[in-house]
Chain A
Amino acid sequence: MLPTLPRHAPDRPRPSLMRSSFLLERDFPASAATVFAAWSSPACKARWFSIESQHRRLDFRVGGREFLYGRSSCGRRFTYEAVYREIVPDTRIVFSYDIHIEGRHGSSSLASLEISPHGEACAIRYSEQGIFLDGLDSPRGRFNGATLRLARLDGLFREKIT
């Protein structure tokens, strides 16, 4: 872990923040119930979401928390802590989450997932509105990470139908 610097140490940058938001739309070859389960069931979620995490806990209900701990691909310790704010089964999930990197607060985000069935498949809209602090975490990295995670999830659905 990096040593904790006093907030106004001469070599520490001033507090800064950056905002960013994005929307990803995908069609998944799976039912709304299957897509919802991929986010709500701890066993399903562990197969595609932050698979590098060494420890995970998911209490999927409004007010419930999710916690992940691990090392990123570049070796930095991170924690992910979410609170579920809104759940409509098979339809919608809204949650807020914080990322800490090497013990420092890197970002706070609000995320929403909307699931719309069409025939045997469904369309999803995944959106994030984020605040990135003190240069620790980046909007580009977040967008890339979300894109990769959805691709991995899509891959799991396709494995099941082939």
Chain B
Amino acid sequence: MTRSVTHATFTLRRTYPVPARRVFAAFADPKRKAAWFNGPDEWGPDEHSFDFRVGGRETSRGGPPGGVVHTFNAIYHDIVENERIIYSYDMHLDDTRISVSVATLELRPKDGGTELVLTEQGAFLDGFDDAGGREQGTRDLLDTLGDFLAREAADA
């Protein structure tokens, strides 16, 4: 195998029409996080462990039935309630580690709602994934989060 490390950074912005504490809770509360932080529906439920505090870890494991197992292992580095979260994570396809990243999530009031700014600085290993693929995956995840926040606001 040719070994390589490719470094890349991307930033995504979203404005959600809910207060910052709602957005923060979607990342901090285990039940809320499990409601949107998932693979595609056809993967079925994933295995999820979650310890949201500085130094705490999160793991999520899932994939298509009988297919490649996707594993996410995160460590929380910094938490400022309703304002920012810093975490690092590595991603695996089966037993192959494909990336290690550090990400920051910043929340700011905007237009009566909350702007989320997510920046990921990543090291992509051996060409299995790249910043473009990760950015698209993260974009989809933030859309799923938006749907979740809208449902939660409608139920309130």
Contacts and interface: CB of A to CB of B under 8 A. Distances in A.
A131 B85 CA distance: 12
Interface string B25-67: 0000000000000000000000000000010000000000000
A94 to B, nearest CB: 5
Nearest to A105: B78
Given A19-B119, A112-B100, A131-B104, 6 more contacts: A85-B88, A94-B125, A96-B102, A112-B123, A129-B123, A133-B78
Interface string A82-100: 0101101001101010100
Given A15-B84, A129-B121, A110 B101 contact: yes
A108 B123 contact: no
Contact of A96 (B54, B84, B88, B125): B88
Interface stretch (B1-9, B15-23, B133-141, B143-151): B1-9
B7 A129 contact: yes
A127 B7 contact: yes
A21 B80 contact: no
Contact of A94 (B5, B78, B121): B5
Contacts of B106: 17
A148 interface: no
Contacts of A88: 3
A133 B106 CA distance: 12
B81 to A, nearest CB: 9
B102 A112 contact: no
What are the 6 closest A-B residue pairs judged by CB atoms, nearest first? A129-B121, A108-B77, A96-B88, A110-B102, A85-B100, A94-B100
B3 A114 contact: yes
B93 interface: no
B3 A108 contact: no
B121 A110 contact: yes
A contact residues, range: 20 to 34
A109 B75 CA distance: 12
A105 B9 CA distance: 22
Nearest to B76: A108
A23 interface: yes
Contacts of A114: 3, 5
Nearest to B87: A108
Interface string A46-86: 00000000000000000000000000000000000001011
Nearest to B104: A131
Nearest to A108: B77
Given A17-B84, A86-B100, A112 B78 contact: no
A109 B104 CA distance: 11
A83 B75 CA distance: 9
Contacts of B80: 7, 15
B90 interface: yes
A129 B124 CA distance: 13
Given A17-B84, A91-B3, A96 B75 contact: yes
